[in-house]
Amino acid sequence: MHLVAIAWIFVVLLAAAAEAISPQGSLLGAAITFIFYGLLPLSIVLYVMGARYRRRRRSEQPDGGDHAAPKALPPVREET
């Protein structure tokens, strides 16, 4: 999946460069092209594709935190 994301960013980067160096293009148009055709859609797709991984990591943490659970104390015996 990461290879597809890198390839898509490369294609969008080339399109933005073509926009920037064309006689009718501008740097603002290149930036908008890169953001709206590259970063924004790719971030949404990667977020949705990573939902299964985040859900699995959340289920592995029983107390909801990222720290180790405390050790249980031994039972206290009453003296008679």
pLDDT at 21: 96
Amino acid symbol at 36: F
**Above 80 in pLDDT, residue 74?**
no
Tell me the one-letter amino acid at 32.
Answer: I
pLDDT at 70 exceeding the cut of 60: yes
How do residues 2-49 score in pLDDT, each as one tens digit? 899 999 999 999 999 999 999 999 999 999 999 999 999 999 999 999
Rounded-to-integer distance, Cα 69 and Cα 46, Å: 31
pLDDT of residue 41: 95
| Rounded CA separation 34/37 (Å) | 6
Q: What is the pTM of this model?
A: 0.65
